[in-house]
């Protein structure tokens, strides 16, 4: 058994669960460091999708035949798995969405549209992904609201002193990410939630990045809404979940109208279904919901604390090694980070870095990472971002470092 110095799991066995990793790209063994964009899928998840389509594809909830009952049972079992993953009080508070983006838009267009009025304020942060900026701006433009952003300090942490001064009785929603996709900063969401609640605001946490790295306990956080995407969690694309506190979800109008979300329809009047179906109009993404449960089971089989210990070990090593390269500036040096390393290399465009690394089989992401305000804050156009998952290795980080030396040589 191959163990690492940080944790005692068998990295070779884990890598064998991810068939995509065993290939060559441009004549070199693939090094996949684009995990913050999307993670790779273990065989168990791929098989869950195949088993569903080969064995019991059927529409859910309305069918009484055997296949429909099995599909419904697995779909609802996945909802309970998400409840457990987030430590939510009940499965009715878990809404399946297409991902984090839809979860945020759902809250903006139902809670926000229904409860906010002209003059109210929404506080986001300077570290947000565009998907936690634009939905609020769209709502604000329509309703005469103000969107304000918590500033970002030089080390990539939020300026919590300024946050304190921004809160007032005009603040109705605070929407922040749990961890930043472009810098890796883990935000003090528990403190943000408590402070927002003290002025009567509700809080949405964007868990797109945190959910694969950190333990999530929505009851301990006392968060009102928590959104995540399955594809960043070793699950399929096009599926995710939104947790919402029951009282809020019950008070909110539906998001989309259609089948499934109704109790009774006449041409005069429609009554809406109970939670969570009120928010799940139309035939859902059944296969991917079923496979999300498999992804969560896979993560649980390793354990979040083992995952974060190993990923921290990778991040610490990568940060040490990459910082030693002359001309490198690490963007984002928060005390608490998920395994994201963003950097610029003096006078070399990030796109050139990405292309030359790809020629060596190393996949990183370059650009603004859908966080243009973060780039503006640091007066840069973009970064090169290496983001690590538990199937990555120290040897792969050494290849990245060698790859960066090659970039420098070629671009000199």
Query: Of the ranges 97-105, 163-171, 278-286, 301-309, which one interacts with ligand PLP (CB under 6 A)?
Result: 97-105
Q: Which CB sits closer to ligand PLP, 99 or 403?
A: 99
Closest by CA to 119, choosing from 138, 80, 145, 94, is: 145
Q: How far is the CB of 368 from ligand PLP (least distance, A)?
A: 12
Tokens standing for residue 334: 């928060």
Closest by CA to 356, choosing from 375, 384, 391, 314, is: 384
Handedness of CA 356, 358, 360, 364 (dihedral sign): positive
Q: Binding to ligand PLP by residue 177, rule CB under 6 A?
A: yes
Q: Which residue in the set 72, 78, 229, 360 belongs to the binding site for ligand PLP (CB under 6 A)?
A: 229
Q: Binding to ligand PLP by residue 34, rule CB under 6 A?
A: no
Q: Binding to ligand PLP by residue 208, rule CB under 6 A?
A: yes
Query: Of the ranges 73-81, 136-144, 206-214, 331-339, which one interacts with ligand PLP (CB under 6 A)?
Result: 206-214
Distance (Å, rounded) from C-alpha 395 to C-alpha 201? Answer: 47
Q: Which CB sits closer to ligand PLP, 209 or 312?
A: 209
Distance (Å, rounded) from C-alpha 1 to C-alpha 147? Answer: 53
Mask 121-140, x = binds ligand PLP (CB under 6 A)? --------x-xx--------
Q: How many CB atoms are located within 10 Å of the residue 23 CB?
A: 10
Q: Please state, in angstroms and as integers, the Cα–Cα distance from residue 153 to each residue in 102, 145, 267, following that order.
A: 29, 26, 56
Q: Which CB sits closer to ligand PLP, 259 or 373?
A: 373
Q: What are phi and psi of 96, to 5 degrees?
A: -80, 135
Distance (Å, rounded) from C-alpha 328 to C-alpha 346? Answer: 6
Q: Which residue in the set 39, 40, 100, 319 belongs to the binding site for ligand PLP (CB under 6 A)?
A: 100
- What is the residue whose two structure tokens read 């990183």? 364
Q: How far is the CB of 240 from ligand PLP (least distance, A)?
A: 6
CA 401 to chain centre: 27
Using CB under 6 A, which residues numbered 317 to 336 contact ligand PLP? none
Q: How many CB atoms are located within 10 Å of the residue 330 CB?
A: 18
Q: How many CB atoms are located within 10 Å of the residue 14 CB?
A: 18
Query: Of the ranges 71-79, 201-209, 282-290, 324-332, which one interacts with ligand PLP (CB under 6 A)?
Result: 201-209
Q: Which residue in the set 39, 109, 181, 366 belongs to the binding site for ligand PLP (CB under 6 A)?
A: 181
Q: How far is the CB of 98 from ligand PLP (least distance, A)?
A: 7
Q: What is the DSSP string of 5-32?
A: SS----HHHHHHT-GGGSSEETTEE-EE
Q: How far is the CB of 2 from ligand PLP (least distance, A)?
A: 31
Distance (Å, rounded) from C-alpha 298 to C-alpha 301? Answer: 5
The 3-state DSSP class for residue 4 equals coil
Query: Of the ranges 40-48, 50-58, 93-101, 244-252, which one interacts with ligand PLP (CB under 6 A)?
Result: 93-101
Query: Of the ranges 203-211, 259-267, 295-303, 331-339, which one interacts with ligand PLP (CB under 6 A)?
Result: 203-211
Query: Of the ranges 94-102, 167-175, 259-267, 333-341, which one interacts with ligand PLP (CB under 6 A)?
Result: 94-102
Using CB under 6 A, which residues numbered 334 to 393 contact ligand PLP? none
Q: Which CB sits closer to ligand PLP, 229 or 294?
A: 229
Q: How far is the CB of 118 from ligand PLP (least distance, A)?
A: 28
Q: Binding to ligand PLP by residue 206, rule CB under 6 A?
A: yes
Q: How many CA atoms lie within 13 A of 125 on its CB side?
A: 30
Q: What is the DSSP string of 126-190?
A: TT--GGGTHHHHHHHHHHT-EEEEE-B-TTS-B-HHHHHHH--TTEEEEEEESB-TTT-BBP-HH
Size of the residue set binding ligand PLP (CB under 6 A): 12
Q: Which residue in the set 42, 99, 244, 354 belongs to the binding site for ligand PLP (CB under 6 A)?
A: 99
Query: Would you call the peptide bond into 168 cis, given omega within 30 degrees of 0 as the criterion?
Result: no
Q: Which CB sits closer to ligand PLP, 350 or 385?
A: 385
Q: How far is the CB of 229 from ligand PLP (least distance, A)?
A: 3
* Residues with catalytic roles: 370
Q: Can you give the binding site for ligand PLP, defined by CB under 6 A?
A: 99-101, 129, 131-132, 177, 181, 206, 208-209, 229
């Amino acid at each position: 058994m191959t163990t690492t110095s940080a944790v005692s799991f068998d990295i070779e066995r884990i890598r064998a669960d991810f068939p995509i990793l065993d290939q060559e790209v441009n004549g070199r063994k693939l090094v996949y460091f684009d995990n913050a964009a999307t993670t790779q899928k273990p065989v168990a998840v791929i098989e869950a999708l195949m088993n569903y389509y080969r064995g019991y594809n059927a529409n859910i909830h309305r069918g009484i035949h055997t296949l429909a009952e099995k599909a419904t049972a697995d779909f609802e079992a996945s909802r309970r798995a998400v409840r457990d993953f987030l430590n939510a009080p009940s499965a009715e508070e878990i809404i399946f969405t297409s991902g984090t983006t839809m979860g945020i838009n759902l809250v903006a267009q139902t809670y926000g549209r229904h409860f906010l009025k002209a003059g109210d304020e929404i506080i986001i942060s300077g570290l947000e992904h565009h998907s936690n900026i634009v939905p609020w701006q769209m709502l604000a433009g329509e309703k005469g609201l103000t969107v304000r952003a918590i500033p970002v300090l030089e080390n990539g942490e939020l300026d919590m002193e300024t946050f304190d001064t921004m809160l007032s009785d005009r603040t109705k929603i605070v929407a922040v990410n749990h961890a930043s996709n472009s810098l890796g900063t883990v935000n003090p969401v528990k403190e943000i939630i408590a402070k927002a609640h003290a002025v009567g605001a509700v809080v949405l946490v964007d868990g797109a990045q945190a959910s694969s790295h950190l333990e999530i306990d929505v009851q301990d956080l006392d968060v009102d809404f928590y959104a995540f995407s399955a594809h960043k969690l070793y699950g399929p694309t096009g599926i995710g979940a939104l947790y919402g506190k029951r009282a809020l979800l019950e008070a909110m109008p539906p998001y989309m109208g259609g089948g499934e979300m109704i109790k009774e329809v006449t041409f005069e009047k429609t009554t809406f279904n109970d939670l969570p179906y009120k928010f799940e109009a139309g035939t859902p993404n059944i296969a991917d919901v079923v496979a999300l449960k498999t992804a969560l089971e896979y993560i649980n089989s390793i354990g979040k604390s083992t995952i974060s210990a190993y990923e921290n070990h990778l991040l610490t090593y990568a940060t040490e090694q990459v910082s030693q390269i002359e001309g490198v500036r690490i963007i984002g040096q928060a005390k608490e980070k998920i395994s994201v390393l963003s950097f610029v290399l003096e006078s070399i465009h990030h796109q050139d870095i990405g292309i030359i690394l790809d020629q060596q089989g190393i996949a990183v992401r370059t650009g603004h990472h859908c966080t243009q305000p973060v780039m503006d804050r640091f007066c840069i156009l973009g970064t090169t971002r290496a983001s690590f998952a538990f199937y990555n290795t120290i040897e792969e980080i050494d290849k990245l470092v060698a790859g960066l030396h090659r970039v420098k040589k070629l671009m000199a």
